[in-house]
Structure 1
């Protein structure tokens, strides 16, 4: 324990909370324990433990979180308890390059203290921090902003998982074809969900409720029969409203979506042409949509997190919304960047169209994807 305390500006990233709960301060399953600081792989980080989210069977499991106050990731469980042998207190110890977990367990008949060395967990931490540094160096060399960059979906994939290069939370793809640096989605029921703040999948990015930028390279391959959503940020169930999104119309115009309301813009798109599109939220209620660094729509009166009734849970990408003609639309989505802050117009233009070799009320189509994601989460 030092004698000098320095304020860390901003919120602690990667923290499971229940914003709707009136008993938050009394809920042990949401409490942060064993918070320590350490320098690992040359980076100052905080490590802390938190029990599994209170709404599941794993509510008495212990997870380890790591954050540099910008990015975060978690893994585990590193310990488990039960009714007969509950976890009371846990502490992390980091010294001489070694990480330990100290636990006190017990019941009404007695207690026990244990000390476990977290060797494999420390290897994972070092590997992840090294990966962050390598990615940042690559992007900095191309003048791509790295401040606030917390997630990237690009060329890494395995089965139906679109792997986050920053190793935080992966996206789930459905009925998609892998292409270089991304996926091609065709028709109704094809798409991807990135559960960045979804409680069912323990998504860690709670900041999306207030500030974020989601930027992707996209190609719309054909003119759809009906106006079709391309990508968006969605509120959690049961509300499931498309909070901020971008659609493309049958007349070749881009359309913006704010809190479920669609508005046609004066900007146009062409089939087969590559665009860099972005959706953005600032201060919890200012939404913006950009195409190739130019604003195509904004709204400064979106419902704030306190009144919107649900958190932003997922980002989604949709291949089509015509249930009758499942091939009436087709899009490619590549190189999806997630920032924990709004980017300026100049910064948007600096995000390069990278090559994967440089690094390691909602529509029925969306509801289908959400349903498939929920089913997959059970296995």
Structure 2
């Protein structure tokens, strides 16, 4: 038996708890406007329906440096991609992307996966605004989930186009054009949800626009989640957004 002083460790624990309490207060004050991209381990569609901090495990706001989008809860940071060609700037409560996007890792984090639960249950919520209508017929990815397989399959995706239409790629692989339209310079709360490893849903301003049964991710033949993508997916559409001068704010 040995006696070990844990003074520094206890100090760190107190600092973390203080940070969590401070961020809880900031997040609570964001309703009904929602907050930056929020990862919640439970399955709620609207971040402000209940107490927003219940089940909250990650919060991305307007703190970024060295291509890292900081998790204010000191958990898993997102990585900003394409910053050498595009542009990212801080807003009051989030980031403004122009030709860049962010990836929030799950399986991609490696052996120590703090968000492993996301393979079974998560809600990812963001308040977004698109500042300019893109040109051409290309659909621009806004937010989604990519699986950890050889094909880099998308589990689901919410995107927008030059006709100011919303599009959803559902878990059955079909693209669905939504009835509603989006307006430039207007804020929308968007959410993607996975419940019990099977039920996948997408919401825009609290209204479910896609809901379908997805195979169980705990099945050994099924790929887990690699990462969430926000503001783009790294495809050719992101380059077009940069060329057209289209930008998206994620708060």
What is the TM-score normalised by the length of structure 1?
Answer: 0.53
Residue in 1 that maps onto 2:72: 165
Is 2:116 the counterpart of 1:200?
no
Deviation at 1:133, TM superposition (A): 2.1
Structure 2 vs 1, CA of residues 121 and 253 (structure 1 numbering), >3 Å: closer, same or farther? same
How far, CA to CA, are the matches of 2:249 and 2:113 in structure 1? 21
- Which of 215, 222, 237 lines up with 1:322 in the alignment? 237
Let me know the Cα RMSD of the aligned residues.
2.5
Q: Per-residue CA shift, 1:74-110, capped at 9, x if unaligned?
A: xxxxxxxxxxxxxxxxxxxxxxxxxxxx8xxxxxxxx
Structure 2 vs 1, CA of residues 140 and 269 (structure 1 numbering), >3 Å: closer, same or farther? closer
Is 2:129 the counterpart of 1:242?
no
Q: Per-residue CA shift, 1:297-333, capped at 9, x if unaligned?
A: 221x211113462111211123473377442363324
How far, CA to CA, are the matches of 1:160 and 1:201 in structure 2? 22
Is 2:173 the counterpart of 1:257?
no
Alignment size in residue pairs: 220
Residue in 2 that maps onto 1:148: 55
Structure 2, unpaired ranges of 5+? 32-47
Deviation at 1:205, TM superposition (A): 0.9
Of structures 1 and 2, the one with the larger relative CO (CA 8 A, separation 6+) is: 2
Deviation at 1:257, TM superposition (A): 1.5
Residue in 2 that maps onto 1:121: 9
Q: Per-residue CA shift, 1:40-72, capped at 9, x if unaligned?
A: xxxxxxxxxxxxxxxxxxxxxxxxxxxxxxxxx
SS at match of 1:136: helix
Deviation at 1:160, TM superposition (A): 1.1
Matches within 5 A, 1:211-360: 211-224=121-134, 225=136, 226-259=138-171, 260-299=173-212, 301-307=213-219, 309-319=222-232, 321-322=236-237, 325=240, 326-328=242-244, 330-335=246-251
How far, CA to CA, are the matches of 1:131 and 1:208 in structure 2? 23
Report the structure number with the largest CA radius of gyration. Answer: 1
How far, CA to CA, are the matches of 2:113 and 2:89 in structure 1? 24
Deviation at 1:154, TM superposition (A): 0.3
In 1, are the aligned partners of 2:145 and 2:155 still within 8 Å (CA)? yes
Structure 2 vs 1, CA of residues 328 and 138 (structure 1 numbering), >3 Å: closer, same or farther? closer
Deviation at 1:273, TM superposition (A): 1.5
How far, CA to CA, are the matches of 2:152 and 2:216 in structure 1? 16
SS at match of 1:265: strand
SS at match of 1:244: strand
Residue in 1 that maps onto 2:95: 183
Residue in 1 that maps onto 2:43: none
Structure 1, unpaired ranges of 5+? 1-101, 103-113, 336-379
Structure 2 vs 1, CA of residues 137 and 183 (structure 1 numbering), >3 Å: closer, same or farther? closer
In 1, are the aligned partners of 2:198 and 2:215 still within 8 Å (CA)? yes
Residue in 2 that maps onto 1:64: none
SS at match of 1:198: helix
Structure 2 vs 1, CA of residues 118 and 238 (structure 1 numbering), >3 Å: closer, same or farther? farther
* Structure with the higher strand share, 1 or 2: 1
How far, CA to CA, are the matches of 2:23 and 2:239 in structure 1? 43
